[in-house]
C-alpha cells in the first residue's frame, strides 16, 4: 500500500499549483500595495506643489506663509495623514512631507506600511509676490509653466493601474484648472513662477 502511494503521480498538478499560488499571490499583493502607495504619493505631491505656490503668493511674511501652507495643504489632501515641515528664507520656500501608506498585503511579510517622502520648492523674491526670478514673465510664460507641470504629472499616470488612470487624470486636470484660476484671479503675471 505504501509503495503504491509513493509511486502514484495523480494530483501532482494540484500540489505544484498550491505551492506556486503562495508566491504568486504575494507578487500580486505587492503590486497592489505599490500602486496604491504611488497613487497616494502623486496626490500628496500635487497638494504640496499647489499649497506651496499658493501660500508663497498669498503670504505677507514667513509666519503667515507657514499658516497658509498648512491650511492649503490640509484642504487638498482629502484627510490623508501627513507630517509636514515648511521652511522659508529670503530666496525660496520649501515644503517636506512625510506620510505612511498602510499596506494591505505586504503586512503579511512584515511590511505593514510604506514610507512616502515628498519635497516641493518655490523661489521667491518677497512674500506676497510668489516667485519672480525673471522680474516680469508674461502671462503666457506662466501658462507654459503650468502646462509643463501638467504634462509631467500626466506622464506619471502610466505608473498606476489602468482602472485608476482616468480618475487620476481627471483629478490632475481639476487641480491645474484651479491653479490657473488662482493665478489669473489673484496674482499679476509678473509675480508668479512655478519651480521645476
Parallel/antiparallel/unpaired status of strands 92-102 and 113-123: antiparallel
| C-alpha to C-alpha distance for 154 and 49, rounded to whole angstroms | 15
Cell of 29: 499583493
Element housing 92 (H / E): strand 92-102
Sheet with 92-102: list strands edge to edge: 82-88, 92-102, 113-123
Going residue by residue through the chain (196 aa), what tens digit of pLDDT does each one get? 777 766 766 767 777 778 888 888 888 888 898 898 998 888 888 888 888 888 877 887 777 888 888 888 888 887 778 888 888 776 778 888 899 989 888 888 788 989 999 988 877 766 655 443 333 344 566 677 778 888 888 888 888 888 888 888 888 888 888 777 766 655 444 444 444 3
Amino acid at each position: 500500500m505504501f509503495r503504491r502511494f509513493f509511486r502514484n503521480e495523480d494530483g501532482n498538478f494540484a500540489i505544484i499549483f498550491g505551492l506556486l499560488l503562495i508566491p504568486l499571490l504575494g507578487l500580486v499583493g505587492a503590486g497592489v500595495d505599490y500602486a496604491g502607495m504611488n497613487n497616494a504619493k502623486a496626490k500628496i505631491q500635487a497638494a504640496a506643489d499647489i499649497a506651496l505656490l499658493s501660500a508663497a503668493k498669498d503670504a505677507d511674511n514667513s509666519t503667515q506663509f507657514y499658516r497658509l501652507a498648512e491650511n492649503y495643504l490640509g484642504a487638498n489632501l482629502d484627510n490623508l495623514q501627513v507630517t509636514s515641515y515648511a521652511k522659508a528664507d529670503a530666496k525660496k520656500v520649501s515644503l517636506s512631507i512625510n506620510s505612511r501608506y498602510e499596506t494591505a498585503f505586504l503586512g503579511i511579510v512584515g511590511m505593514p506600511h510604506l514610507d512616502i517622502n515628498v519635497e516641493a520648492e518655490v523661489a521667491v523674491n518677497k512674500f506676497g509676490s510668489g516667485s519672480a526670478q525673471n522680474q516680469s514673465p508674461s502671462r503666457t510664460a506662466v501658462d507654459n509653466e503650468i502646462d509643463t507641470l501638467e504634462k509631467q504629472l500626466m506622464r506619471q499616470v502610466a505608473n498606476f493601474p489602468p482602472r485608476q488612470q482616468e480618475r487620476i487624470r481627471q483629478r490632475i486636470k481639476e487641480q491645474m484648472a484651479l491653479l490657473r484660476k488662482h493665478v489669473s484671479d489673484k496674482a499679476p503675471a509678473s509675480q508668479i513662477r512655478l519651480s521645476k
